[in-house]
Amino acid sequence: MRLNRKTHILGKISANSFLKNFWQKKPLLIKNAIENFVSPITEKDLFRIAQDEEAISRLIEYKQGIWQVKHGPFKKSDLLKETNTPWTILVQNINHYLPFAESFLNLFKFIPYARLDDLMISYATKKGSVGPHYDSYDVFLFQAKGLREWKISNQKKITLDKKSPIKIISNFKSKNTWLLKPGDMLYLPPNVGHWGISLSNDCLTYSIGFRAPGTFEIQSKFLDFIQDQLITNVNEIYKDPHLSLQKNPAEINSNMAKVIQKIVDRLRWDTASVNTFIGQFLSEPIENRIFQAPKPLSFANFKKYLISETLKLNPKTRMLFIKSNFYVNGEYIKVHKKYVIFLKQLANDREISLEPTLNKKDLNALGIILLPLYLSGFIDFI
């Protein structure tokens, strides 16, 4: 199954109308989001990825009235066991492993990349479930294979099961029950209680997850950023040549307090530096910060490839921009305004093919911008 980049996945609803009426507001069921969908990704792919040292995966079972969770990496024998207990395995960041999963995320371009997290896929045997729960983030749940029943709640008062190792709503009350077949999709805003139960032994659900930074995270990361920007001047230390005798030696005199206050007040930031922080912060990869460096390539050869091959972002790479400032995996990239158009294309489409007719000067300039990204493993040729 091949996906068209322009496939509309919201059924009869336009992207504008979805954002206006549903996004972060209310659940939406879309029957036949993709017609005749056949998942090229199978449970076998998940089992293979779940054995990878770097992969993030969980296996969840409900045994004798208790929810049990095991964290990966798993051994093959953990996954192929014959059991009467229904189970679910969830594997994170599938878009880092499988090109189809990466192209599937392209269908969600109506949400900015800065908000997009990853494609998680879960496989469940019949009756497998992770229980009634809510998530703090928006999610699209796309049924890729088999059948899953979703119970959705609109309850305001939520009680969590304190004894459970996973988040379980103990007073779950369902308002709607929806049966999802392959190609159907459910959108849930944050904090909506939901309970998905597999009705078949081949249930595969794709979860398109979003991220939203917390206020504390933004503020503390910003203070780290400011700290990194401080110019340390070892020669500048507190002086008090006019110190006068004080009655209480333990008292911090008002002069000292004033001088320190002035030093603190000298900490300043403007829109440009806040924007640099925002770009670096939002383009920072959260999981798997390690990028594998490719075989070194000479500048001349790199330029040859640039005009003959398609350049593509590594699936783990986050590339964002604010106006004409670019940020790749937490790093600020300086770009002359003449080349902004190329970098925007690379960021938006996550790939770019340069014309062989590109003049030498421009090719050189783009090579200088892109070679360091290539050598860091952030971009590669198809």
Interacting residue ranges for Mn ion, rule: CB under 5 A: 135
Q: Which is nearer to Mn ion, 150 or 281 (CB)?
A: 150
Q: HSE (CB half, 13 Å, CA atoms) of 308?
A: 6
CB of 146 to Mn ion, least distance (A): 17
Query: What does the alpha-carbon distance between residue 99 and residue 97 come to, in Å, rounded to a whole number?
Result: 7
Q: Which is nearer to Mn ion, 131 or 367 (CB)?
A: 131
CB of 30 to Mn ion, least distance (A): 17
CB of 133 to Mn ion, least distance (A): 6
Q: Which is nearer to Mn ion, 118 or 380 (CB)?
A: 118
Q: Which is nearer to Mn ion, 135 or 149 (CB)?
A: 135
CB of 164 to Mn ion, least distance (A): 14
Q: Which is nearer to Mn ion, 129 or 280 (CB)?
A: 129
Q: Which is nearer to Mn ion, 135 or 331 (CB)?
A: 135
Query: What does the alpha-carbon distance between residue 167 and residue 161 come to, in Å, rounded to a whole number?
Result: 7
Q: HSE (CB half, 13 Å, CA atoms) of 129?
A: 20
Residue of minimal CB distance from Mn ion?
135
CB of 141 to Mn ion, least distance (A): 8
What own/partner pairs with CB < 8 Å and gap ≥ 24 does 372-378 have?
373/328, 373/333, 374/294, 374/297, 374/302, 375/293, 375/294, 375/296, 375/297, 376/291, 376/293, 376/329, 377/291, 377/292, 377/293, 377/294, 377/314, 378/291, 378/313, 378/314, 378/317, 378/319, 378/328, 378/329
In sequence order, which residues have a C-beta less than 8 Å from that of residue 359 and are 6 or more positions away? Answer: none
Alpha-carbon Rg of the chain, whole angstroms? 26
Q: What are phi and psi of 218, to 5 degrees?
A: -60, -50
Query: What does the alpha-carbon distance between residue 118 and residue 92 come to, in Å, rounded to a whole number?
Result: 7
CB of 43 to Mn ion, least distance (A): 19
CB of 374 to Mn ion, least distance (A): 37
Query: What does the alpha-carbon distance between residue 367 and residue 360 come to, in Å, rounded to a whole number?
Result: 10
Q: Which is nearer to Mn ion, 102 or 135 (CB)?
A: 135
CB of 273 to Mn ion, least distance (A): 37
Alpha helices in 144-253 (DSSP H): 215-229
Q: Which is nearer to Mn ion, 195 or 342 (CB)?
A: 195
Q: Which is nearer to Mn ion, 62 or 281 (CB)?
A: 62
In sequence order, which residues have a C-beta less than 8 Å from that of residue 6 and are 6 or more positions away? Answer: none
CB of 195 to Mn ion, least distance (A): 9
Q: HSE (CB half, 13 Å, CA atoms) of 338?
A: 7
